[in-house]
Chains A and B, each alone.
Chain A
Amino acid sequence: MKGSEAIIESLKAAGVEVVFGLPGGMVIPLYDALYDSDLKHFLVRHEQGAAHMADGYARATGKVGVCIATSGPGATNLVTGIANAYMDSTPMVAITGQARSDLIGTDAFQEADITGITEPIVKHSYLIKNPKDIPRIFKEAFYIASTGRPGPVLIDIPADMQLADIDYKPAGKINLPGYKPTLKGHKKQIISAAKAIAAAEKPVFYAGGGIITAGAEKELLAIAKLMKIPVTTTLMGLGCFPEDNDLSLGMLGMHGTGYANYAVTHSDLLIGVGARFDDRVTGKLATFARHAKKIHIDMDPAEISKNVAIDIPIVGDAKDVLAGILAELKKMKREPKKTAAWTDQVIAWKKKHPLHYKDEKGSIMPQYVIEEINRITKSEAILCTDVGQHQMWSALFYKHIKPRHWVSSGGLGTMGFGFPAAIGAKVGCPDKTVIDVAGDGSFQMNIQELATAVCYNIPVVVCILNNGFLGMVRQWQELFWNKRYSETVIACQPDFAAVAEAYGALGITIDNKKDVGDAIRTAIKSKRPAVLDFRVKQEENVFPMVPAGKSIDEMIGGHKT
């Protein structure tokens, strides 16, 4: 069989059903084999879209997302999407065509050293030099992408490898002597963690995306309930703990809730799980959770004590480790009252410093749009976002109650991510309502994927919070740069509803608060790709906010006074 057919067989063996991509000279053989296969291929309009779709698909489903691009410019167009997946630990396999192997290194037409270019942003990569290796390499790639701390794996395939005739044999057992992720937590450490939790008077869970990757939500909830421990999540962790639970503190960090940041600051035990003590979370390191003993549970040993010194480190799968801790706690004699004063205090903070915004007559407040989306979808939608103010409002004002219902670019903060990611999420979860909250700036970074959504009738609803600015940057300029709005006014704005209609999608412009709910309902009911252009208040800010370099309890704004 041909190398290209072996690729299709290998994809099927890995359980792949859908791929996102765009062909070119160096992947024609692969696309030719795809033509006869029953893999579903989605043709994108820009390869960055393909990478983000694969990413969104992976986040929403938990499966590995797959994208394909041709060599050179096709491959380099994937780069932002690969980096994005790397920073947020999304399982992804990116397949790129490459110039014929005898031309590699000669600056051949459309040759780019994509394994070199992506080296710092992949979990691993391959350049196929022998077509016989195809089954093995694909098997390894999917295994590496989806196990341990997940991440993107790139496979670069010269055109002649796709054309070569091989004697196809399915891949044998995986043999990777240098890759052995630790799944089971160390028993002794688990016992120390359980003891520390039982002894704590002011414990807080700090839960990250790793909980969702591991599927450890139930274990987290069980420990939190058993020991009455409040839970704050990172941006990536939204949905891993139901925000309608009393013990939920929402998100922490730079734009975290006041009560989450106070709780962390005053805690005597911080239990970090699947979270990486990112600088957007910790603020000034020296004062972060300064009174707390720290437990850190993570799949990736390199994350432990990377930024913050840890007292009880546990390397392993969050589900396994939390289950172990829960079992230990159940064996112990507990004093359930021990944290009562603390939970009372936390609930008092929640009442005293709730999330808040000032509703202005005559304006559509961006926060209100998010609240409406939340009401109409009953907190059940898969909510995707781009990057900026609208992202933070979506994080704060939507109630996140389920895992894999929040798809947002955390680590890299990629404008242009949300819309293609929403398409990928909808492809993976056709029965769920998928909403993309976008900024007017961000949406224009991958607006061309409207064609993809329309072409395959993928009914995602884009809600643009149109403030006429690169809002988040404008907010920093307002607060810290004397309102010098250098290049953050988006002066030339298209009529987004008309653009949507031109692509064949539904487009609605909303200027009045009273029309917000109707527009959202209409768009969802239409079962078509839709763009809602909400003309929101222009100079609204995201609060609370911790200025860069400050301690997280030194927030500005956002308090009800």
Chain B
Amino acid sequence: MKHTLSVLVENKPGVLARVAGLFARRGFNINSLAVGITEDPDVSRMTITVDAEEHPIEQVTKQLHKLINVIKITDLDPERTVARELALIKVKSDTKSRAEVMQLAEIFRAQILDVSRKTITIEITGTYEKLDAFEQLLQPHGVVEIVRTGRIAIERGEK
């Protein structure tokens, strides 16, 4: 089972290393980790997706909580969460296939960022699944490079 943890941490040096180190040494699997500042400049938010197959998610969160700089952890309920990921994809495309690639991008509401003689670079945001599906469709054209941000997520509603 994949879990998305939303972790508020003090915005202090070394915090990211501590969190990442904890996952590594406890043998927890991180799928993705995205960090950014929040509305409070003293606080950062990490969105961490973990595979909780071997270690119960409870153990992961309890161990995380022991880090002094970790303020709050929420295990986001997928039903009540909006999650996004951003990818930049550079795909091979010459004059012949350009129209097809651009059409795919349009269907997925992706943006064309750059076009060269042999490639097109596309920006896409969406759920993990949407990005995967898009990537699959581009594969036959020859994907040159992909950069993904990892998931960021926020709870729905007023909270």
Contact = CB atoms under 8 A, between A and B. Distances in A.
Interface in B40-91: 56, 58-59, 62-63, 65-72
Contact of A305 (B58, B63, B65, B71): B58
Given A123-B68, A176-B68, A300-B66, A306 B10 contact: no
Contacts of A123: 66, 68
B21 interface: yes
B17 A119 contact: yes
A177 interface: yes
Contacts of A179: 68
Contacts of A124: 68
A127 B14 contact: yes
B10 A177 contact: yes
A302 B67 contact: no
A336 interface: no
A127 B10 CA distance: 15
Contact of B65 (A302, A304, A306): A302
Contacts of B70: 178
Nearest to A119: B21
A302 B21 contact: no
B141 interface: no
Nearest to A178: B71
A488 interface: no
A301 B62 contact: yes
Contacts of B68: 123-124, 144, 176, 178-179
A178 B69 contact: yes
Contacts of B67: 178
Contacts of A300: 66
Interface in A123-138: 123-125, 127, 129
B80 to A, nearest CB: 24
A164 to B, nearest CB: 19
B14 A301 contact: no
Interface string B100-118: 0000000000000000000
B59 A306 contact: yes
A306 B67 CA distance: 17
Nearest to A115: B14
A302 B57 CA distance: 11
| Interface SS of chain B | mixed
B17 to A, nearest CB: 7
Which of A176, A178, A300, A306 is packed against the most chain B CB atoms within 10 Å?
A: A178
Contacts of A144: 68
Given A116-B17, A178-B71, A302 B62 contact: yes
B18 interface: yes
Band of interface residues on A: 20 to 34
Interface in A285-313: 300-302, 304-306
B29 to A, nearest CB: 18
A127 B13 contact: yes
Contacts of B122: none
Contacts of B9: 178
B11 to A, nearest CB: 11
Contacts of B63: 302
A178 B67 CA distance: 8
B25 interface: yes
A101 B81 CA distance: 43
B21 A120 contact: yes
Contacts of A115: 14
A124 B70 CA distance: 12
Given A177-B10, A178-B67, A302 B59 contact: yes
Contacts of A178: 9-10, 67-72
Nearest to A176: B68
A120 B25 CA distance: 8
A119 B67 CA distance: 11
Interface string A174-198: 0011110000000000000000000
A125 B67 CA distance: 10
A123 B62 CA distance: 14
Contacts of A119: 14, 17-18, 21
Contacts of A177: 10, 71
Contacts of A306: 59
Contacts of B18: 119
B150 to A, nearest CB: 22
B32 to A, nearest CB: 22
A183 to B, nearest CB: 16
Contacts of A301: 62, 65
Contacts of B10: 177-178
Nearest to B67: A178
Contacts of B58: 305
A200 to B, nearest CB: 27
Which of A123, A144, A179, A304 is packed against the most chain B CB atoms within 10 Å?
A: A179
Nearest to A151: B66
Contacts of A129: 13
Interface string A105-116: 000000000011
A300 B72 CA distance: 16
A306 B59 CA distance: 7
Contacts of B22: 120
Nearest to B60: A302
A168 B56 CA distance: 47
Nearest to B14: A115
Interface string B112-145: 0000000000000000000000000000000000
Interface string A500-515: 0000000000000000
A123 B67 CA distance: 8
A129 B22 CA distance: 24
Interface of A: 115-116, 119-120, 123-125, 127, 129, 144, 176-179, 300-302, 304-306
10 contacts: A119-B14, A119-B21, A123-B66, A124-B68, A178-B68, A178-B69, A178-B72, A302-B63, A305-B58, A306-B59
Which 4 pairs between the two chains have the least Cβ-Cβ distance? A302-B62, A178-B71, A124-B68, A179-B68
Interface of B: 9-10, 13-14, 17-18, 21-22, 25, 56, 58-59, 62-63, 65-72
Given A177-B10, A178-B69, 15 more contacts: A115-B14, A116-B17, A119-B17, A119-B18, A123-B66, A123-B68, A127-B13, A127-B14, A129-B13, A178-B68, A301-B62, A302-B59, A302-B63, A302-B65, A304-B62
